[in-house]
Amino acid sequence: MAEPVRVLVTGAAGQIAYSLLYSIAKGDVFGKDQPLILVLLDITPMMTVLEGVVMELQDCALPLLREVIPTDKEEVAFKDLDIAILVGSMPRREGMERKDLLKANVKIFKSQGAALDKYAKKTVKVVVVGNPANTNCLIASKSAPSIPKENFSCLTRLDHNRAKSQIALKLGVTANDVKNVIIWGNHSSTQYPDVNHAKVNVKGKEVGVYEAIKDDSWLKGDFILTVQQRGAAVIKARKLSSAMSAAKAICDHVRDIWFGTPAGEFVSMGVISDGNSYGVPEDLLYSFPVVIKDKSWKFVEGLPINDFSREKMDLTAKELAEEKETAVEFLSSA
Binding site as annotated, residues for substrate: 92, 98, 131, 162
Of 160, 187, 197, 253, which one is the catalytic site residue? Answer: 187
As a whole number of angstroms, the distance between CA 254 and CA 153 comes to 10
Q: How far is CA 17 from the centre of its chain?
A: 13
Residue 266 parent element (H or E): none
Angle CA 193–319–218, to nearest 5: 25
CA distances 27 to 22, 54, 197, 243, 244, Å, are: 9, 17, 32, 19, 17
As a whole number of angstroms, the distance between CA 126 and CA 14 comes to 19
Binding residues for NAD(+): 42, 105, 129-131
Q: Which amino acid is at 50?
A: L
253 is catalytic: no
Binding residues: 42, 92, 98, 105, 129-131, 162
- Which spans in 26-81 are helix H? 47-59, 74-77
For residue 303, which of 329, 283, 280, 334 has the smallest C-alpha distance?
Answer: 280
As a whole number of angstroms, the distance between CA 217 and CA 282 comes to 33
For residue 4, which of 34, 29, 39, 42 has the smallest C-alpha distance?
Answer: 34
For residue 156, which of 175, 132, 123, 178 has the smallest C-alpha distance?
Answer: 132
Residue 223's SS3 state is helix
As a whole number of angstroms, the distance between CA 283 and CA 293 comes to 23
CB 270 within 8 A of CB 253: no
CA distances 116 to 20, 40, 79, Å, are: 21, 15, 8
- As annotated, the active-site residues are 187
